[in-house]
Amino acid sequence: MKKNILFVLLFLFAASLVAQEKWEPLFNGKNLKGWKKLNGTAEYKIVDGTIVGTSKMGTPNTFLATAKNYGDFILEFDFKVDDGLNSGVQFRSLSKKDYDKGRVHGYQFEIDPSGRAWTGGIYDEARRGWLYPMNYNPAAQKAYKQGWNKVRIEAIGNSICTWVNDIPCANVWDDMTPEGFIALQVHSIGNKKEEGKTISWKDIRICTTDVEKYKRSSTAPEVNAITNTLSPKEAQDGWKLLWDGQTTNGWKGARLASFPEKGWVIDKGLLKVMRSDGGESTNGGDIVTTRKYKNFILKVDFRITQGANSGIKYFVNPDLNKGEGSAIGCEFQILDDEKHPDAKLGVKGNRKLGSLYDLIPAPANKPFNKGLFNTATIVVKGNHVEHWLNGTKILEYERNNDMWNALVAYSKYRDWPNFGNWAEGNILLQDHGDEVWFKNVKIKELP
Angle at 411 between CA 438 and CA 354, to 5 degrees: 30
Average pLDDT over residues 302-324: 93
Average pLDDT over residues 370-378: 96
Same domain, 385 and 246: yes
Is 5 a member of any domain?
no
Average pLDDT over residues 266-288: 91
Q: 85-100 pLDDT, tens per residue?
A: 999 999 999 999 999 9
Domain end call among 185, 203, 224: 224
Position 19 scores a pLDDT of 59
Position 281 scores a pLDDT of 78
- CATH number for 208: 2.60.120.560
Same domain, 163 and 298: no
Same domain, 218 and 291: no
Using pLDDT thresholds of 50, 70 and 90, give the confidence band for residue 10: very low
Q: What's the rounded Cα separation, in Å, for the pair 53 and 343? A: 45
Q: 159-192 pLDDT, tens per residue?
A: 999 999 999 999 999 999 999 999 999 999 999 9
Q: Which residues in 157-308 belong to E strands, given as ranges?
A: 159-164, 167-173, 181-186, 198-207, 223-224, 239-241, 251-253, 264-267, 270-273, 287-289, 296-304
Is 13 a member of any domain?
no
Same domain, 156 and 244: no
Position 268 scores a pLDDT of 95
Same domain, 324 and 271: yes
Domain end call among 224, 248, 276: 224
Higher pLDDT, 342 or 16: 342
Position 282 scores a pLDDT of 80
Contact 225, 123 (CB under 8 A): no
Same domain, 195 and 299: no
Average pLDDT over residues 262-291: 92
Position 111 scores a pLDDT of 98
Percent of the residues in the chain that have a pLDDT greater than 90, as a whole number: 92
Average pLDDT over residues 112-121: 97
Is 120 a member of any domain?
yes
- Residue 187 burial by CB count (10 A; 0-12/13-18/19+): exposed, middle or buried? buried
Find the domain containing 66 and state its range.
22-224
Position 4 scores a pLDDT of 52
Same domain, 212 and 239: no
Using pLDDT thresholds of 50, 70 and 90, give the confidence band for residue 322: confident
Mean residue pLDDT across the chain: 94
Q: What's the rounded Cα separation, in Å, for the pair 305 and 328? A: 24
Q: Which of 131-145, 254-268, 278-292, 391-405 has the lowest mean pLDDT?
A: 278-292
Contact 326, 280 (CB under 8 A): yes
Same domain, 145 and 289: no
Same domain, 265 and 236: yes
DSSP assignments along 169-194, one per residue: EEEEE--S-S-BEEEEEE---S-GGG
Beta bridge partners of 150: 78
Q: 384-416 pLDDT, tens per residue?
A: 999 999 999 999 999 999 999 999 999 999 999
